[in-house]
A and B are shown apart, each in its own frame.
Chain A
Amino acid sequence: MIAGAMFYVFALVLIASAVAVVSVRQPVNAVLFLILCFFNAAGLFLLLGAEFLAFILLIVYVGAVAVLFLFVVMMLDVQGDAPRPPLKRFLPMSLGVGAVLLVQVVVMAVFWPQAQAVISVATDIENTKALGRVLYTDFIYPFQVSGLVLLTAMIGAIALTQRGSRGTKRQNVQAQLDRRAEDVVSLHHVESGKGIL
């Protein structure tokens, strides 16, 4: 009974904050609403008994991804009072994207036979173990491939943002630590009226 009520609370707040993400004027507030979305999605996962997924969602999306969003958005000098671009310009494209997403979700919910099975299996053995067992046996190749894809993306991001090393000065920590006072400091007796050459 309580779990059912909780579902509606999480789902309603999730939808309301998702609407707020796209409708509030202030970008920082939008990111904060996005974080609220993630929280409620994690709550839904918890209700399904998928505790591992719930906390990984929080750690990865809230703890890392959204921090970077906030980082970027805070640097924008956008205040909430900027005039809103006309809705007409974006309406066709957003409707198209939304329709595609909706169709995909419906197709997946109707035609994916495993969706039910996963939930019922996950509740009797420990969640994390069940997930690990499946990932490292039945889905070992997709799992490894997704790892490789992420690695490629990482290398790509580094390669794209790395500037040439020409002209940049690098700090050599070892060289700094190796400096000794007797090598670089010397004591001179300076006669008055004359300098040191």
Chain B
Amino acid sequence: MRDDLMTIYLLPLFWMLLGIGGILGVVLGGTAYLTYAERKVLGAIQLRKGPNVVGPFGLLQPMADGLKVMFKETIIPSGANVGLFIAAPVFTFLLALSAWAVIPFDAGLVLANINVGILYLLAISSLGVYAIIIAGWASNSKYALLGGLRSAAQMVSYEVSIGLIIVTVLLQAGTLNLSKIVEAQKDGWYIFSILLPMAVLFFASALAETNRSPFDLPEGESELVGGFNTEYSAMIFAMFFLGEYANMILMSAMMTVLFLGGWLPPLAALGFVPGFVWFAMKIVLCLFVFLWVRGTLPRYRYDQLMRIGWKFFLPLSLLWVVVVATVKMVGEAG
């Protein structure tokens, strides 16, 4: 009886906690250094040096920033709904981290290999809008509310096309399990197939979904002061900030799993390099494009953003669902 308790509940629980701890460590470290990478890349694009004072090459800059943010005073505006005001950034951060449970880092290296992994990701990413809309409302500030509403409209719009894009991938792979989607790309990554336009669309939608430039209207500082996070300061602001970066990494991971062949090496001859290294390299590549886009493209106007979402992305992804289904049906019949 005692042994049963040990082997059935406690031991798996221990391994699971260890896995969660490992993933959290990697993601949080990645998030911290993504902020550093962003400043370095933007610096390089704008012919500056970027952070270079704290530590060698400025590598300790994230620690210094973290320390600074922790010792700042948290200001809560008068008339704010305190509970929701504090809960919103915590929720953002929580969602950005909990999505990692189903991401396969390597063959078999996944915390929860559930059958509907992609639906889980879609559900988690559709919850992100709440944190922003609630933050905007609970701040008791006009700018924050307007920023929150903009963001809600934007995220809901782009989720529709992300959903359809994912449907095309699912049609091709024939499964909702993320590990099996990666394995289905053994004979060719989906970005080099009929799904190429969907990969481009997915990346653009990911930019909108994570509120990144050129679709960063929810925090359009030139018109809304700071958008939904206008009233946030110190640690609770840092939660939003880090949540946004963790979401960028998450979207890059989804891009990698859905279109870039996950942990698979680009050439069979390079198979001696462990899978998670390939996975990490592909994520870093996607992240670099995120930063590159921010450094080069001007911000969209809000009506243009909505038009491109509903009148271009949505019809095209809908058309592609039909195209992929037809190609697949003809291929199986012939």
Q: Which residues of A contact B (CB under 8 A)?
A: 2, 28, 32, 35, 51-52, 55-56, 58-59, 62-64, 67, 70-71, 74, 126-128, 171, 173
Contacts and interface: CB of A to CB of B under 8 A. Distances in A.
A130 B303 CA distance: 42
Interface stretch (B114-122, B262-270, B287-295): B114-122
Nearest to B9: A2
Contacts of A32: 84, 134
B251 interface: no
B133 A71 contact: yes
Contacts of B70: none
A64 B116 contact: no
Given A64-B156, A126-B115, A59 B133 contact: no
Contact of B116 (A35, A70, A74, A127): A127
B90 to A, nearest CB: 14
A74 B123 contact: no
24 contacts: A28-B84, A28-B137, A51-B115, A51-B116, A51-B119, A52-B116, A56-B119, A58-B123, A59-B122, A63-B126, A64-B126, A67-B130, A67-B152, A67-B156, A70-B130, A70-B134, A70-B152, A71-B133, A71-B149, A71-B152, A74-B133, A127-B115, A128-B116, A128-B176
Given A70-B130, A71-B133, A74-B137, A55 B119 contact: yes
A172 to B, nearest CB: 12
A17 to B, nearest CB: 15
A74 B228 CA distance: 14
B248 interface: no
B315 to A, nearest CB: 15
Contacts of B133: 67, 70-71, 74
A127 B176 CA distance: 10
